[in-house]
């Protein structure tokens, strides 16, 4: 199954999976694994590619990016960083969904911490803070978007437009 970011594949981004077996055995195994894994507080959705499921949560004022086996829910790796829970229109925690692009996973915290992680290991390849690196201030409800497809620019809500090379940061 492939679901590489918010609303699915980069081609359609319509929230509809093109997988043929999603309602069959693969879908049952994936749903059981995803629904039974405690990932913490937040409203992050999931991205799925190559048998791996990526999502985020917050535990004890620490955001956690999880890479799970999509069939079993077993943890493959996780990346953590300090982040206040910050209750907003919900209990708090991450609101963005990881985006998978080739061998990289991109995540964004509600405070604007943008990470590029190696999909295989979770190693941080580069990181930016959209507020500090591009100027501006945090919006009322924080950040909840992540670039999709062929992205190059930072969010102009954080001040001057900035250019981010997604390969090198």
DSSP string of 2-58, one letter each residue: -B-STTS-TTT-SS----SSTTSHHHHHHHHHHHT----BS----EEETTEEEEEEE
pLDDT of residue 57: 93
pLDDT of residue 32: 57
Cβ neighbours of residue 59 closer than 8 Å, sequence gap 6 or more: 40, 41
Task: Using a cut of 0.75, tell me whether the model's pTM lies above it.
Answer: no
25-158: CATH number: 2.40.10.480
pLDDT along the chain (169 residues), means of 10: 54 58 61 68 87 92 94 92 82 86 89 91 92 72 57 40 60
pLDDT of residue 68: 93
User: Where in the chain are the domains?
Assistant: 25-158
């Amino acid at each position: 199954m492939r679901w590489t970011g918010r609303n699915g594949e980069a081609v359609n981004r319509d929230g509809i999976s093109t997988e043929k077996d999603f309602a069959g055995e693969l879908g049952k195994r994936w749903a059981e694994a995803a629904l039974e894994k405690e990932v913490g507080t937040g409203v992050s959705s999931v991205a799925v590619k190559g048998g791996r499921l990526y999502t985020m949560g917050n535990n004890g004022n620490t955001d956690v990016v999880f890479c799970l086996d999509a069939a079993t829910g077993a943890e493959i790796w996780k990346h953590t960083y300090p982040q206040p829970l910050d209750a907003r229109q919900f209990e708090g925690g991450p609101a963005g969904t990881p985006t998978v692009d080739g061998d990289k996973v991109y995540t964004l915290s509600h405070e604007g911490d943008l990470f590029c992680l190696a999909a295989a290991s979770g190693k941080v390849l580069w990181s930016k803070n959209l507020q500090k690196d591009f100027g501006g201030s945090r919006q009322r409800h924080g950040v909840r978007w992540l670039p999709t497809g062929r992205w190059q620019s930072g969010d102009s809500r954080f001040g001057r437009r900035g250019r981010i090379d997604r390969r090198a940061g």
